[in-house]
Amino acid sequence: MVALVAASPEAQACMVADQYRLLPLGTSKGRIVALELDQFRASEDADMEKVFWTVEPRLVYAVPGGAVVDIKKYAETKLDAHAYDADLAPIAARALADAKKLPNFHEARIASFTDCHYSRACGAHVISGKDHAQVRTKLRKARPALTRIRLPERFLLHKNAMYMIGAAELGALDSDIIKRDHPDLLSVWLLGSVRIYRLANKKRIAVYNLGNGDTRYYRRNPRPKPRTRKLHKAAGQWLYDEDLPHHGYAFDIIVALD
């Protein structure tokens, strides 16, 4: 598990964020192979100019609905938050090279990317238990056959720590205040983005980025409408830095569409 970095109180209070990411690369004997990124953001200085992600990368088999099986673990590393894509590229290239050594590996292609901006316009995902969520989306082409998902185990390991940081910043450590003023803090997961991939067998999968955080800033500044981009690129060649709400925490989940 990525450690919650002990930066200065000022820097930690403003730049702290947590993400669990899955970047599908392809399939091996029909199993989805993905680059898993368990990462935590912090700043090394009070001016928040030296912001970095501490990342634990793994090559994994990913099962639609939330489970993963480790294939290979890579060394923990730091990525410059201001050059995230460039710093991530060598890790992704190594993971793809290792994936290509797996039996009968076929690289996937990413077909589209929808930036939902954590807006309810794309649909909400409501927690139905401590480790499960019910998927509900308004995106017609991304409605999954699977509607019930399990929250990723590695994300659950540090979800509560992120909750305490976010709650403290809100001045709402008292559970009654949280329920009254910020009921969505852990009960609702909003869509950050949706990626749709095509596998070698022509079947489609979607990767939902689900997150939450201090959304007060979004309420003051209306979010743009969801926008879908068609890509049609090899999965291993497309990297991006996923956005987050202030003090956000988010996770990726893979769902089967066909």
Q: What is the mean pLDDT of the chain?
A: 78
User: Is the predicted pLDDT of residue 244 greater than 50, yes or no?
Assistant: yes
- Per the model's pLDDT, the better-predicted residue between 190 and 181 turns out to be 190
- 3-state SS, residue 61: strand
Structure tokens belonging to residue 153: 């185990």
CA angle 6, 9, 15 (to 5 degrees): 80
Secondary structure (3-state) at 95 = helix
Q: Strands 188-198, 204-214: parallel, antiparallel or unpaired by DSSP?
A: antiparallel
Residue of 190, 196, 201, 192 lying closest to 238 (CA atoms) = 196
pLDDT tens-digit readout, 207-230: 999 887 766 555 445 556 777 888
Report the percent of the chain where pLDDT is more than 90.
33
pLDDT tens sequence across 56-75: 999 999 998 888 999 999 99
**Is the pLDDT confidence value at 181 over 80?**
no
Mean pLDDT of 162-168: 57
Considering the entire predicted model, what is its pTM? Answer: 0.83
Half-sphere exposure of 34 (CA within 13 A, CB side): 27
3-state secondary structure of 120: helix
pLDDT at 253 over 80: yes
CA dihedral (113, 118, 119, 121) in degrees, to 10, reads 40
Q: How far is CA 149 from CA 6, 251, 255, in A?
A: 32, 12, 8
